[in-house]
Amino acid sequence: MTFGPGAGVDPMVLLHNAAGVLLQHAAIRGMGFDRTVIGGLDTAIGRGGNFGTLTRIHPFLFYAVVPPGLAQRGSLQAYSRDAVDYAVRHKGGLPRGMQSGSVAVHVVVTDRMAPGSERWARKPRGSRFAAIGYPVVVSLADRTVTHPKHFVLGAAYARPLRRLVRENVTDVLFSGEGRRR
């Protein structure tokens, strides 16, 4: 399936197909999914195993499709906040901060990046004690995946987070050919 300009398909069909491919890939990797509304967006939530270098981090992947033109800063901020809240509430295991935490990788799949959405995705959002918010915007028309490159809080997890996005988003949708921002 082609994801990007010239695909000749209604943008909403393309968006939902892209989200389906992401979910199918994650399911093959053994990730179970729930569906709920996060920040006003219908969201599929996958919970992976553990990754972490210093502590046990419970990763949550949130996938939401945003209709053309609706990936505005206000709705994205609510999505970030609610995704981190969900990850904190559903982490399980030891209490937060006792060598345990959660990360909410919240992916927004859209046809074209709206003004401000790239800036939103360039830095962590919603992070707090023992919880990291890691926004990702996928623009199918531009074939780009934008996410934070550098951050201070939780910097030890920057490399595993970038790998998680590459393996579960960029390489899946664009066969490694998508541009990373």
pTM across the whole model: 0.80
Instruction: Evaluate if residue 3 carries a pLDDT over 60.
Output: no
What pLDDT score was predicted for residue 73? 60
Does residue 155 surpass a pLDDT of 80?
Answer: no
Give the residue, 84 or 178, on which the prediction is more confident: 84
The count of other CB atoms within 10 Å of the CB of residue 168 is: 23
Angle at 12 between CA 136 and CA 164, to 5 degrees: 25
Q: State yes or no: pLDDT of 2 exceeds 50.
A: no
| pLDDT at residue number 82 | 92
The pLDDT value recorded for residue 1 is: 43
User: What tens digit of pLDDT does each residue of 22-64 get?
Assistant: 777 777 777 777 888 888 888 888 876 656 555 667 788 888 8
Say which amino acid occupies 47: R
Q: SS3 for 109?
A: strand
65-106 pLDDT, tens digit per residue, is: 887 666 666 678 888 889 999 988 877 665 555 566 788 888
CB 80 within 8 A of CB 133: yes
